Amino acid sequence: MSYDAKGDDKFLVFQLKKGNEKAFNSLYDQYLLDVYHFSLSLLKSKDHAMEVVQEVFLKIWITRDAIDENKNFKSFLLTITKNLSLNILNKATTDLNFRNKIYENLETQRSTTNEYILNKEYDQLKKNAIDALPAGRKKIFLLSREEGKSYQEISEELNISINTVKTQIKKALEGIREYFSKNTDIDLIIIIFLFF
């Protein structure tokens, strides 16, 4: 994780409990992929994993008042993810069509050639998107995402405020998303961006 979980998460959850939508969006951006890939590992279905993602964060928003900011938010999030994913698997035991769909997804995943090509294309596209960022923003983004440094560490290393670090990373993500939207088909964005 590219930030200080003990610091940033606690602050964001505290703000979330107040109904702060920006805090919610920050947590969503930080943990979207963790939730998605964990659910996908259980369900073997991208569609259902994305459905779980939406349900998880909807539940987080609705029950935000009850969240304990002193507990590990990621663990809390993945527990919800596991429970919702298992609910879907339980449904599959009684729903023949649903069970068949999961089986078809398992069969599809056995073919890795196309997936490998897609990942290679995506890696190059992601590199191009990052290279297109302004030099300073790119440096901050890579320190966070590639080197795994916290906002505090980046702030101290570059002698800038933590707020500046957060703002630049947010703008970097926006720039990367914009690059994807201009250089891929809509369907490809949906598939590829999940791996970012």
**pLDDT above 70 (res 175):** yes
How far apart are alpha carbons 102 and 54 in whole angstroms? 19
Query: What mean pLDDT is predicted for residues 71-85?
Result: 91
Query: Which residues, 6 or more positions from 43, have their beta carbon under 8 angstroms from its beta carbon?
Result: 49, 52, 85, 88, 89, 102
Pinpoint the residues of the chain covered by CATH 1.10.1740.10. Answer: 5-106
How far apart are alpha carbons 143 and 156 in whole angstroms? 12
How far apart are alpha carbons 64 and 33 in whole angstroms? 20
| 146-159 confidence digits (pLDDT tens) | 777 888 999 999 99
Query: Which residues, 6 or more positions from 68, have their beta carbon under 8 angstroms from its beta carbon?
Result: 76
Please tell me the predicted confidence (pLDDT) of residue 99. 57
Bigger pLDDT: 170 vs 177? 170
Please tell me the predicted confidence (pLDDT) of residue 146. 78
Please tell me the predicted confidence (pLDDT) of residue 2. 41
* 28 phi, psi to nearest 5 deg: -60, -50
As a whole number of angstroms, the longest Cα–Cα distance in the chain is 59
Bigger pLDDT: 85 vs 179? 85
Task: For the chain, give percent helix, strand, coil, nearest 5.
Answer: 80, 0, 20
Residue pair 55/115 in contact (Cβ under 8 Å)? The answer is no
- CATH number (1.10.10.10, 1.10.520.10, 2.30.30.180, 3.40.50.970) of 114-193 reads 1.10.10.10
**pLDDT above 50 (res 20):** yes
- CATH number (3.50.50.60, 3.30.70.100, 3.40.50.720, 1.10.1740.10) of 5-106 reads 1.10.1740.10
Q: pLDDT grade, residue 101 (50/70/90)? A: low
Structure tokens at 90: 């339980």
| 109-149 confidence digits (pLDDT tens) | 545 445 554 556 667 777 888 899 999 999 998 898 777 78
**pLDDT above 50 (res 96):** yes
Q: pTM of whole model > 0.85?
A: no
Pinpoint the residues of the chain covered by CATH 1.10.10.10. Answer: 114-193
